[in-house]
Structure 1
Amino acid sequence: MDATTRRRFLEASGLALTALAGCVDGGAGSGQSTATTENGTSDPSLDSLELLADPVATGFTSPLDVVVPRSEEYWVVDQAGQVAVVDGADADPQVALDVTDRMVDVGGYDERGLLGLAFHPEYDGAGRAYVRYSAPRREGTPDDYSHTFVLSEFEVSDRTIDPDSERTVLEIPEPQGNHNAGAVTFGPDGYLYVGVGDGGAGNDQGRGHVEDWYDAVDGGNGQDVTENLLGSILRIDVDGDGTDGRPYAVPDDNPLVGKEGLPEQFAWGFRNPWRFSFGPDGRFFVADVGQSKWEEVSVVERGGNYGWNVREGANCFRAADCPTETPDGAPLRDPIVQYPHDGGEVSGISVIGGYLYDGENVPPLRGRYVFADWRARGTLFVATDRGDQRWPVTAVPVDGDGLGSNVLSFGETPAGELLVCTTNEQGVTGETGAVHLLRSA
């Protein structure tokens, strides 16, 4: 059965294709609350817009991230285990780091691997980089868990990341192989933000998922802030002096400092935050992959609870009715964007977080949030802030075969132009992975 036939078979059977950021929930559904579930009408000013995707670099297996710390210096994170650097468009990629000997084996459909990269704000061609990957079980990870989440610091110079300079910054036991998130980025405050999924499996339940305050659905890590770091966005100071054996400091204004809870956590209630970014205005955009009904994007704030697994998007999960706040009165925050797995042009199965566009190549996109679904269908999504809670979303076509069949991630150049990472495969295989630069058709 070829890939196209297999896709049609799965869709006809009612099964959601799993993307690098998502999973099938094993048949569980979600009830719908009275919250608004539509993104509003599309923006007519975008109706005639078409985009082109020019290849910057090709030949990758599964490019999950591209970071451009300086002009014409593209660092591509390949899930198979390599970081490659490309000096300018159309140049041949050169391997800058290979961590395959430190990772679990990946291949076929897999959400583990080399997942993220961030350069220290002081990087100027030399300095430090922070790399996120999935390692075999390390000390402290239970024998029946899948693997260990690793965030490490490396020294960088001359377009090379020194493998012998590795210093482990953070380890988290991962009970399942999916919902690993993987994004890391420095915020405008100079602190490192780290995305952590809920631990995997379905429903935020099962091995490695703790009890929480919500009784209608068993579990889970998304609503817990005391037992582990899963289901959260973390915020750490890699330049500070750590305590209690930590190789990092916790910023004093993290929301749980001095309170009950693990102080690294910045926000929680996430299932699988797949890519995040800061806009030029400082807003923090986080895409969170849904389970069986809804995909979502939120503007995340310090101490915010984004609802999983009480809610999927703005909708009750596995219940006809659900609370809008926690027992202590903290609100469950609604997303700015949600779209269904079934329905119209704006639909899909695994949201891929993007950027608030700040470039010049596509003037109609300026100030709008550009993102995608893994099942691209030759389109990208554009959300427009009209001052309401829910942003309307428009599907914008990408001309020709430029995108490939599956979008994996986005990147941004120092000039604010958007890069799109794609593949024609449904897993960690082949050499169809590519990075594209967006422009108007």
Structure 2
Amino acid sequence: MVSVDRRRFLGASAAALAGALAGCGGDSSGTDTATTDSDGTGTAAGTPSLDDATVGLERVAEGFAAPVDLCAPAGIDRRFVADQPGVVWSVTEDGRADRPYLDLRDRVVDVSGYSERGLLGMAAHPDFAENGRLFVRYSAPNREGTPSNYSHTFVLSELTVDPGADDPSPAERTLLEIPEPQPNHNAGFVVFGPDGYLYVGVGDGGGSGDSGTGHAEDWYDAVSGGNGQDVTRNRLGSVLRIDVDSRANDRPYGIPDDNPLVGREGFDEQYAWGFRNPWRASFDGEDLYVADVGESAYEEVNRVERGGNYGWNVREGTACFEADDCPSETPAGEPLANPVIEYSHSGDGPSGAAVIGGYVYRGDAVPALSGAYVFADWQADGRLFAANPDAGEVPWPVSEVSVVGSPSLGSNVLAFGRDGEELYVLTNEGGVSGSSGALSRLVAP
């Protein structure tokens, strides 16, 4: 089993762990003071140029099939990795445990080869060390209320476990079920915000172009249908925000009073919409960054705000989708927000097939990335990317970050994670079976 220095794995210090928001893809409360260069371009104080930035990797654990999320709850000496086939693994400074911490395969659809279904996200309650509450997002076989011609049921569940036990014997409480018409575009992120609420990404329901069976008619006539632009018929194509510490109106969760559709037409859970496949997300302070996987031409990362509409399927990135011309706002005058990062599937600069959202780096191990948003594309080709949120222009300019030394990044990046303020990358060599998956920590080259 691969080992790693305990201090590096568990974070730079107890203070760093205590300050990190518990969960898989959480908040970083640290911020840098912005300065302005002579040319008017804002940069984070002390942030080096991202040009020619390089990083190394330190292998922490391996033997996964398709690791898609890392949980680093404060106050315990283990971390959790969500493996897409339906297994949660415990990871310590000695690497991955020999047996699963949680085995959910009996309730998750069977996955093999390439699949966008399975165990897709995980977040620990901010007080996990005391209450043992773990939130998981998975694809289940059709449940009651899901039409028989649909692919599966989206499930968000709360598992209560013994935080210190090797055999936690979880009790499951289902919070939310959403019928999914197609097997793809399932998103999957679950993350606690600094407000203590749980944010959940929901894809547009799959298929192509956000149209066909299971897709609502919307206001935009140039493209037939669109769950991303509808907030009244289903919760697809959106980011949800719920209060897992309360219950109200026969729901197993509460609704924050300031959710944008409370008291309006639409689903009270919805926080923002206009998404295609918001696979990964993270907080930096109060800023929520959501990476939305594109259709066939563009990838994007959005800084998401309450009640924001992020354009799909009117636009893919900032480009009109299947139309020569398209509006910049809805008929009600609500603007379609532009992404902060955008890149094409071909051409100069970053390229790829599916954006993998990361984090704004606030750690100490890689000073060259301080204050930069670090992300990747599923087709990694040995590269990471970084963008400066304080660049003074939108979309942010993106720089390539080369991964040097051994181990290499591998063929596919699936997700990023954070322990304290340090970043980890989860990778495999393709598919959702086998044992090529690995968890690695970003270090200075």
Please give the per-residue CA displacement for 1:32-67, whole angstroms capped at 9, x wherever unaligned.
xxxxxxxxxxx9923342211111110000001111
What is the CA–CA distance in structure 1 between the aligned matches of 2:128 and 2:432, rounded to whole Å? 30
Contact 1:117–1:132 (Cα < 8 Å) also in 2: yes
TM-score by length of 2: 0.86
What is the CA–CA distance in structure 2 between the aligned matches of 1:93 and 1:186, rounded to whole Å? 29
Q: State the match for 2:81 in structure 1.
A: 76
Q: State the match for 1:185 in structure 2.
A: 191
Q: State the match for 1:265 in structure 2.
A: 270
% identical aligned pairs: 59
Q: State the match for 2:441 in structure 1.
A: 437
Q: Is residue 250 of structure 1 aligned with residue 263 of structure 2?
A: no
Contact 1:134–1:150 (Cα < 8 Å) also in 2: yes
Q: Structure 2 unaligned runs (5+)? A: 1-46
Q: State the match for 1:135 in structure 2.
A: 140
What is the CA–CA distance in structure 2 between the aligned matches of 1:222 and 1:300, rounded to whole Å? 15
Q: State the match for 1:406 in structure 2.
A: 412
Q: State the match for 1:238 in structure 2.
A: 244
Q: State the match for 2:110 in structure 1.
A: 105
What is the CA–CA distance in structure 2 between the aligned matches of 1:412 and 1:311, rounded to whole Å? 31
What is the CA–CA distance in structure 2 between the aligned matches of 1:87 and 1:379, rounded to whole Å? 27
What is the CA–CA distance in structure 2 between the aligned matches of 1:284 and 1:100, rounded to whole Å? 31
Q: Is residue 396 of structure 1 aligned with residue 396 of structure 2?
A: no
Could you tell me which amino acid in structure 2 is paired with residue 135 of structure 1?
Answer: A
What is the CA–CA distance in structure 1 between the aligned matches of 2:152 and 2:255, rounded to whole Å? 25
Q: State the match for 1:329 in structure 2.
A: 333
What is the CA–CA distance in structure 1 between the aligned matches of 2:168 and 2:204, rounded to whole Å? 31
What is the CA–CA distance in structure 1 between the aligned matches of 2:172 and 2:288, rounded to whole Å? 29
What is the CA–CA distance in structure 2 between the aligned matches of 1:92 and 1:162, rounded to whole Å? 14
Q: How does 1:251-330 map onto structure 2 within 5 Å? A: 251-279=256-284, 281-330=285-334
Q: 1:113 to 1:161 in 2, by over 3 A?
A: farther
RMSD: 1.5
What is the CA–CA distance in structure 2 between the aligned matches of 1:72 and 1:50, rounded to whole Å? 30
Quote how far apart the aligned CAs of 1:94 are: 4.2
Contact 2:64–2:437 (Cα < 8 Å) also in 1: yes
Contact 2:140–2:153 (Cα < 8 Å) also in 1: yes
Contact 1:235–1:264 (Cα < 8 Å) also in 2: yes
Could you tell me which amino acid in structure 2 is paired with residue 81 of structure 1?
Answer: G
What is the CA–CA distance in structure 2 between the aligned matches of 1:228 and 1:91, rounded to whole Å? 39
Contact 1:125–1:159 (Cα < 8 Å) also in 2: no
- Give the one of 144, 152, 155 matched to 1:150: 155
Please give the per-residue CA displacement for 1:208-229, whole angstroms capped at 9, x wherever unaligned.
0010000000111000000000
Greater mean alpha carbon deviation, residues 397-406 or residues 228-237: 397-406
Greater mean alpha carbon deviation, residues 113-122 or residues 44-53: 44-53
What is the CA–CA distance in structure 2 between the aligned matches of 1:265 and 1:91, rounded to whole Å? 36
What is the CA–CA distance in structure 2 between the aligned matches of 1:247 and 1:161, rounded to whole Å? 26
Quote how far apart the aligned CAs of 1:315 are: 0.9
What is the CA–CA distance in structure 2 between the aligned matches of 1:75 and 1:126, rounded to whole Å? 16
What is the CA–CA distance in structure 1 between the aligned matches of 2:254 and 2:131, rounded to whole Å? 23
**SS in structure 2 at match of 1:55:** strand
Q: Structure 1 unaligned runs (5+)? A: 1-42
Q: 1:407 to 1:161 in 2, by over 3 A?
A: farther
Quote how far apart the aligned CAs of 1:93 are: 5.2
Q: State the match for 2:230 in structure 1.
A: 224
In the comparison of the two structures, how many residue pairs are matched?
A: 395
Could you tell me which amino acid in structure 2 is paired with residue 394 of structure 1?
Answer: S
What is the CA–CA distance in structure 1 between the aligned matches of 2:80 and 2:261, rounded to whole Å? 34
Q: 1:225 to 1:439 in 2, by over 3 A?
A: same
What is the CA–CA distance in structure 2 between the aligned matches of 1:143 and 1:277, rounded to whole Å? 34
Q: Which runs of 4+ in 1 moved over 4 A?
A: 159-164
Contact 1:86–1:93 (Cα < 8 Å) also in 2: no
